[in-house]
């Protein structure tokens, strides 16, 4: 009978071990799924996998926490293995219930609807709650690492000691990742004014007077953020910033050689260089010098991005009763408004209109009932197209911005993509880029000849302005410098990183173009041209570059965000 009883006990314990092994293997399979779903941010699938993991881990802990199982732990040789499995199962159960499930439950609350402003305020309580959840999860991870590390595995089979090592390593990585996320949350909390009000200059760029980043900041507003609540607290136009006081800050002489001293002494030219941190530092300096106060960051947006947002929100009604819509925002803000006033009143009249439009649209966006995901998609479209940019003087915040196209900087190498950029600057002192159409054609052998690649870019500009328009429209619109007789545009072609400038040709279809110079900026060769277009005229300039041997990603064309989208053509044999 004793033998039979012992056999039954052994069989029972063996069954518990097998059940525990099966549950642990299922939990391991869930971990693999969880890692994939975390990378893809698939919250729905992640929730199911986390629940599976927690259930399997709990089952394993239950099977190994049985009295007969514990009794078997006193058996020599076998016992230490059983003890180690039980303690590892208990820690996995703790991780499932104290770490994974709480974090996943919180992630379910991060929906587009919960992230949307309501009555001009974000739900910042989400950040506080999320940080508390992560802190609790991290504390549980640290405690479990200590517990698991103390589990004796001497004399156990190799699979158990290996599982212990893998679990400690995985938890260590999770601890590091949670620390990174909590640091990001703390940065976002500061940016949203949860540690005191923050002040950001909103620069509204005018694409009808083109500069490298899209247009000069014709209208500016101060955005104050206090504990997640947004408000416009001040406003200025470019006319509020003198042109004759000299530079508002120091800048590298090479930048002044390329773009002129106006890049730091004329607000409208602050965005000439295709590098938003350069522009933002200058805009910050202008505001602090002439308006006062502290600028905690700069955000730029143009009417093109605004049209994307209005498509998501629907039309908005201005103080005058007029509606601004996705369809009319660009022509209204970049052309039509200038024709509503007598020539002497254009600047003051349009400035007042822009101030009203900024306040109306800002209020509408921060209190809209639009579908949250549609609104988020519209914002992302503006960011990806370069029509929305941001900068912060605080390193931790700028580091966060630098993880997206918001930063508005050129790549520092060619590894991911081989970017060739074309940027324009109006020197007509006009709003005449309303009539400018542009095309960029890039030819390269970089995918078949990475040891000595060549790049040839041809830029074509065409003016659709008629002679009648040039003669009858206000000089403020068609150009103060030339009175409508021509539109003058500087063209800056930036070659790949590390390349050198080759042949430059100007005026292949018209005599009214010239090579200005070649230079180097941001680690890239720069070919500079001046193109003058009479009404109806077309002009073409061409620059070539030679690259050195190295790693080259697929060729990419980048251009200034123009009112009339620049068309592009890429010829690159061997490229996918």
Which H helix or E strand runs over 292? Answer: none
Query: Which own/partner pairs from 502-506 qualify as long-range (CB within 8 Å, at least 24 positions apart)?
Result: 502/454, 502/543, 502/544, 502/545, 502/546, 503/542, 503/543, 503/544, 504/529, 504/541, 504/542, 504/543, 504/544, 505/541, 505/542, 505/543, 506/530, 506/531, 506/541, 506/542
CB 302 within 8 A of CB 207: yes
Each of the 576 residues of the chain gets a pLDDT tens digit; together they read 444 544 444 455 555 555 656 556 665 666 666 656 555 556 666 677 777 777 777 776 776 777 776 766 677 777 777 777 788 878 878 888 888 888 888 888 878 888 788 888 889 999 899 899 989 989 988 998 899 899 888 877 777 778 778 878 888 888 888 888 889 899 999 999 999 999 999 999 999 999 999 999 999 999 999 999 999 999 999 889 988 788 999 999 999 999 999 999 999 999 999 999 999 999 999 999 999 999 999 999 999 999 999 999 999 999 889 999 999 999 999 999 999 999 989 989 999 999 999 999 988 888 888 888 899 999 999 999 999 999 999 999 999 999 899 999 999 999 999 999 999 999 998 899 999 999 999 999 999 999 999 999 999 999 999 999 999 999 999 988 888 899 999 999 999 999 999 999 997 666 578 888 899 999 999 999 999 999 999 999 999 999 999 999 999 999 999 999 999 999 999 998
Provide the token pair at 433: 């880029």
DSSP letters for 85-144: HHHHHHHHHHHIIIIIHHHHHHHTT--HHHHS-BTTB--THHHHHHHHHHHHHHHHHHHH
Alpha-carbon gap, residue 429 to 534, rounded angstroms: 15
Whole-prediction pTM value? 0.88
CB 387 within 8 A of CB 238: no
Alpha-carbon gap, residue 490 to 510, rounded angstroms: 16
- Residue 429 backbone class (left: φ over 0; alpha: ψ -120 to 50; beta: rest): left
Alpha-carbon gap, residue 304 to 334, rounded angstroms: 10
pLDDT at 322: 92
pLDDT at 1: 46
DSSP letters for 461-527: EEE---HHHHHHS-HHHH-TTTTTS-EEEEEEEE--TT-EEEEEEE-SS-SSEEEEEEEEETTEEEE
Residue 542's nearest CA partner among 454, 462, 410, 442 is: 442
All structural domains of the chain: 2-191 (no CATH), 198-395 (3.40.630), 411-572 (no CATH)
Residues whose CB is less than 8 angstroms from the CB of residue 489 and which lie 6 or more positions away in sequence, other chains included: 210, 424, 425, 426, 427, 428, 433, 436, 461, 530, 531, 532, 533
CB 487 within 8 A of CB 438: no
């Amino acid at each position: 009978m004793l033998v039979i009883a012992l056999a039954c006990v052994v069989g029972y314990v063996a069954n518990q071990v097998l059940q525990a092994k099966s549950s642990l293997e299922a939990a391991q399979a869930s971990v693999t799924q969880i890692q994939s779903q975390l990378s893809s941010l698939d919250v729905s699938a992640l929730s199911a996998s986390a629940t599976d993991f927690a259930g399997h881990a709990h089952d394993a802990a239950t099977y190994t926490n049985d009295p007969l199982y514990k009794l078997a732990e006193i058996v020599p040789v076998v016992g230490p293995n059983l003890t180690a499995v039980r303690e590892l199962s208990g820690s996995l159960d703790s991780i499932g219930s104290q770490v994974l499930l709480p974090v996943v439950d919180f992630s379910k609350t991060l929906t587009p609807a919960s992230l949307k402003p309501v009555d001009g305020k974000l739900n910042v309580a989400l950040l506080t709650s999320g940080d508390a959840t992560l802190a609790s999860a991290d504390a549980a991870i640290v405690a479990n690492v200590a517990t698991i590390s103390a589990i004796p595995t001497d004399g156990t089979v190799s699979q158990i000691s290996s599982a212990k090592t893998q679990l400690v390593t995985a938890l260590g990585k999770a601890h590091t990742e949670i620390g990174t996320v909590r640091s990001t949350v703390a940065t976002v909390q500061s940016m949203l004014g949860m540690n005191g009000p923050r002040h950001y200059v909103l620069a509204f760029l005018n694409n009808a007077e083109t500069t490298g980043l899209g247009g000069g900041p014709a209208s500016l507003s101060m955005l104050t953020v206090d504990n997640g609540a947004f408000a416009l607290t001040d406003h200025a136009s470019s006319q509020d910033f003198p042109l004759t006081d000299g530079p508002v800050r120091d800048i590298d002489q090479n930048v002044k050689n390329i773009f002129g001293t106006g890049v730091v002494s004329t607000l409208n030219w602050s965005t000439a260089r295709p590098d938003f941190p350069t522009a933002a530092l200058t805009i910050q300096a202008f505001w602090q010098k002439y308006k006062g106060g502290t600028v905690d960051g700069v955000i730029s947006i143009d009417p093109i991005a605004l049209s994307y947002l209005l498509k998501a929100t629907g039309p908005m009604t201005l103080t005058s009763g007029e509606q601004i819509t996705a369809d009319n925002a660009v022509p209204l803000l970049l052309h039509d408004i200038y024709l509503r006033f007598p020539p002497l009143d254009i600047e003051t009249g349009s400035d007042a209109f822009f101030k009203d439009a900024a306040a109306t649209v800002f209020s509408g966006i921060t209190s809209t009932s639009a579908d949250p995901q549609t609104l988020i998609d519209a914002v992302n479209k503006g960011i990806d197209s370069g029509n929305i940019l941001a900068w912060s003087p605080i390193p931790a915040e700028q580091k966060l911005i630098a993880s997206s196209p918001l930063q508005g900087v050129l790549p520092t190498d060619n590894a991911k993509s081989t970017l060739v950029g074309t940027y324009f600057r109006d020197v007509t002192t006009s709003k005449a880029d309303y009539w400018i159409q542009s095309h960029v054609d890039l030819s390269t052998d970089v995918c078949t000849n990475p040891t000595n690649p060549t790049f040839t870019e041809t830029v074509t500009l065409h003016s659709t302005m008629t002679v009648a328009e040039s003669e009858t429209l206000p000089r403020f619109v068609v150009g103060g410098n030339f009175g409508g007789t021509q539109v003058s545009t500087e063209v800056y072609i930036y070659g790949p990183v590390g390349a050198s400038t080759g042949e430059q040709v100007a005026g292949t279809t018209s005599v009214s173009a010239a090579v200005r110079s070649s230079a180097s900026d941001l680690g890239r060769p720069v070919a500079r041209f001046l193109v003058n277009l009479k009404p109806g005229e077309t002009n073409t300039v061409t620059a070539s570059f030679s690259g050195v041997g190295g790693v080259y990603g697929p060729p990419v064309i980048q251009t200034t965000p123009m009112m009339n989208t620049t068309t592009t053509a890429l010829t690159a044999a061997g490229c996918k």
